[in-house]
Amino acid sequence: MSWTDILDFLEFALISSTGLALYFAPTLIAHKRKPLAAFTVYNVNIFLGWTGVGWLYALYLSLRSPAEE
């Protein structure tokens, strides 16, 4: 195993971790702000987040104020 292989793996791991963190950002925000709504945001994020529009909707749900619920 050469240094190039190790660096390629580390690059892949960093990009994958960053991508997952960005994908689940609405869920993490919702959990931090209001844990009761986090389950709904999680479901929208898992089932519709891949569409882009679903991810934006999950982000909207996680950022809206509790008075809007």
4-62, pLDDT tens digit by residue?
Answer: 999 999 999 999 999 999 999 999 999 998 888 899 999 999 999 999 999 999 999 99
pTM for the full model? 0.80
What's the chain look like in SS3?
CCHHHHHHHHHHHHHHHHHHHHHCHHHHHHHHHCHHHHHHHHHHHHHHHHHCHHHHHHHHHHHCCHHHC
Q: What is the pLDDT of residue 68?
A: 57
Q: What is the pLDDT of residue 48?
A: 95
